[in-house]
Structure 1
C-alpha cells in the first residue's frame, strides 16, 4: 500500500487532474468530495473517457469521469480480499479506507510484490520511474 495518496476534488477539471498527476509523478488520484472518497481517477481514464471521447479536459469535471460506484478495502482486509475485488471489478487500484478516512491506495503492482516478489510485474513495480 502507498500511504498518503494524492487527492483531487470532484469539481476540479480533468486538465487540473492531469497536471497534478504530472507534478506528483503518479498515474492515479483519489477523488474526493465533501462526504469523503468518491473513487479513483487514472491516467487511462483521462485518455479513454475524456480525450478519446472528444471531451474538453479543461471544462470536464473530474466528478463527471470517475466511476460512480466506489470499491475500496480497509486496512484490516487481507490480500485475497483486495485481489478478489480487483478481479471482480476489473480494477488496478483500490483506495484503502479506515472507516471514512483515506489511509492509502493499493495497486496491482503492490499485490504482485507481496504475492510473488520474483514476478516480472513485481520487479517492474518495485523500480523507480525512468523519465
Structure 2
C-alpha cells in the first residue's frame, strides 16, 4: 500500500499575509525554528518564503530591509500536492523542481507542508539527513 502525504506532512504551519514585514517573518522563523513560512491571503496560499529567499531577494539588495514586505521576497510559482497524493509523487516533484519543501493544499488552502527532512526521517532515519533532521535545533 502506498504511503500518503497526509501520513508524513507537518500540519503546524507558520503563515503570514503578503504585507507582513520581512523582519517579522525572520523573527517568526527564529521563534518557531522553521526555514519557511507560507504566505496566505484570505486563507488562500499565494506564496512561500524561505530563509534563503530573505537573504537573496532582500538582504543582498541592500538598503533598508525594514521597508520590504514578504510579497517582495516570496516565491509565487509553487509546486503543491494534496494530502491524498502518494509520497513518491512528492519525492519526484522535489527532484524535478529542485525544491526542499512542498506545501500541501486542499483546493487553494494550505493544510500542511512536506520537507526533505520529513522524507528523510520517514524513509531513511539512519541517514545523515535523517539524523540531522531529527536532531534538536541549535540554540
Normalised to the residue count of structure 1, the TM-score between the two structures is 0.91
Residue pairs, 1:52-67, within 5 angstroms: 52-67=60-75
Q: For residue 75 of structure 1, what is the aligned residue in structure 2?
A: 83
Structure number with the bigger relative contact order (C-alpha 8 A, sep ≥ 6) is 2
Name segments (4+ residues, structure 1) moved above 4 Å. none
Match of 2:102 in 1: 94
1:56 CA displacement: 3.0
Deviations 1:43-97 (A, max 9, x none): 1111111111225321111111111212111111111111111112121111111
Question: Residue 4 of structure 2 aligns with which residue?
Answer: none
Asked if 2 retains the 8 angstrom alpha-carbon contact of 1:73 and 1:96, the reply is yes
Question: Mind listing any 5+ residue stretches in structure 2 that lack a counterpart?
Answer: 1-8
1:113 aligns with 2:121: yes
Give unmatched runs, 5+ long, in structure 1. none
| C-alpha deviation, 1:129, in angstroms | 0.8
- Which segment drifts farther, 50-59 or 83-92? 50-59
Partner of 1:27: 35
Instruction: Tell me by how many angstroms 1:15 deviates.
Output: 1.0
Contact 1:39/1:95 (8 A) holds in 2 = no
Q: CA deviation at 1:9?
A: 0.7
TM superposition shift of 1:105 = 1.0
